[in-house]
């Protein structure tokens, strides 16, 4: 079975560790971390990914801008994107989905919720 490349764009090291710890249970996943939108975009330029998890509120470049960039890039626009929100879930959900995100997870994140959402896009 081919490994799934998953990009995790999150400025909080704690959150990145939690996501990585949870996703390791899936197996056959190559997890790549990015600390903000710019870092994420750079990593996207150098590697192909099967799924992107991105926080919304990040310094330098926020998650919504990153989603917009991805959806406007012909080579990357088909990659599934899951956004992670802190603010009012409905507003962030609406904005993220309008820009092209496929799904969303609201903080505080629970491992089982994360796994269920991710599995929808890589299985």
The token duo for 80 is 């599934």
Count the alpha carbons within 13 Å of 85 in the hemisphere toward its beta carbon.
20
Least distance (Å) from other proteins to the CB of residue 58? 13
- Residue 27 CB, nearest approach to other proteins (Å): 15
Nearer to other proteins, 38 or 109 (CB): 109
Q: How far apart are CA 75 and CA 61, in angstroms?
A: 21
Of 71, 55, 47, give the one whose Cα is nearest residue 11: 55
For residues 75 and 119, which CB has a smaller minimum distance to other proteins in the complex?
119
Identity of the residue, 39 or 55, whose beta carbon is nearer to other proteins in the bound complex? 55
**Which value, to the nearest 10 degrees, does the dihedral of the CA atoms of residues 91, 102, 22, 89 take?**
10
**Which residue number, 5 or 22, has a Cβ lying nearer to other proteins?**
22
> In whole angstroms, how close is the CB of 36 to other proteins at the nearest point?
15
Q: How far is the CB of 15 from other proteins (least distance, A)?
A: 5
CA distances from 51 to 8, 22, 90, 91 (A): 9, 15, 22, 23
| Chain residues in the site for other proteins (CB under 8 A) | 12-15, 17-18, 21-22, 86-89, 106-112
């Amino acid at each position: 079975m081919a490994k799934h490349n998953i990009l995790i764009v999150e400025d909080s090291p704690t959150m990145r560790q939690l996501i990585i710890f949870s996703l390791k249970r899936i197996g056959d996943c190559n997890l790549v971390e990015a600390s903000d939108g710019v870092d994420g975009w750079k990593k996207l330029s150098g590697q192909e990914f099967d799924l992107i998890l991105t926080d919304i509120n990040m310094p330098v470049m926020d998650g919504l801008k990153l989603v917009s960039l991805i959806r406007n890039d012909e080579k990357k626009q088909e990659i599934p994107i899951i956004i992670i929100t802190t603010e009012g879930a409905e507003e962030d959900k609406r904005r993220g989905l309008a820009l092209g995100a496929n799904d969303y997870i609201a903080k505080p994140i629970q491992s089982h919720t994360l796994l269920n959402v991710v599995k929808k896009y890589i299985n």
